[in-house]
Amino acid sequence: MNNREASTECGGYQLPEIRPLASSDLPRVMDIERQGYSHPWSEAVFRDCFKDNYRLWALFKEDCLIGYAVVAYLVDEAHLLNLCVHPGSRGCGAGRHLLKYLMGQARQDGMVQMLLEVRESNHSAERLYTSAGFEEIGRRPGYYPAADGREDARVMTVSLDK
């Protein structure tokens, strides 16, 4: 695995390649995860997701892993559990590219709806999801741990049935 830091510029930016995430990618995933979240998942949580009803995707730029996503399929609903891009590769369309891809894959796999939770304070992620067609359908009070207690989650969904 190539652990070079990703470029911080978008000039001449080519969209990254998307491949299934492998367990051998997890050291790099953990590095990005710790930079992406105040309360990151543990490696054990990622390992638990390598199951039949989960889809794990990786974004690669010149063989360097720069982002990933985890989706769980439950009957005909896809639950987006994690979507993260390396801080040095944000703002160039990589997150949107991965989101659109995993939505298309979920549709192909027979899912009719996608659901996610997002921290109330996470405005960049909320804007990304809204721009991809997600709508807020409710809140989960105190869903996330926070530095000073708990934080609410917005619950957002999009129909894949189009």
Residues lying near ligand COA in the complex (CB under 6 A):
36-37, 83-85, 90-96, 118, 122-125, 127-128, 131
Nearest-approach distance from CB 126 to ligand COA, in angstroms: 8
Q: Is 129 labeled as catalytic in the residue annotation?
A: yes
Angle made by CA atoms 72, 150, 85, in degrees to the nearest 5: 45
Q: Is 117 labeled as catalytic in the residue annotation?
A: yes
Written as six digits, the tokens of 25 are: 């990618």
Q: Round to whole Å and give the CA distance between 58 and 20.
A: 6
Q: Do 156 and 136 form a contact (C-beta atoms < 8 A)? A: yes
* Cβ distance to ligand COA smaller for residue 87 or 109: 87
Annotated catalytic residue, options 117, 120, 126, 143? 117
Q: Do 30 and 112 form a contact (C-beta atoms < 8 A)? A: no
Q: Round to whole Å and give the CA distance between 59 and 18.
A: 5
Nearest-approach distance from CB 57 to ligand COA, in angstroms: 12
Q: Do 117 and 140 form a contact (C-beta atoms < 8 A)? A: yes
* Cβ distance to ligand COA smaller for residue 2 or 131: 131
CA 131 from centre of chain: 15
Which residue, judged by CB position, is nearest to ligand COA in the bound state? 95
Nearest-approach distance from CB 86 to ligand COA, in angstroms: 8
Annotated catalytic residue, options 33, 68, 129, 144? 129
Nearest-approach distance from CB 61 to ligand COA, in angstroms: 11
Catalytic residues: 117, 129
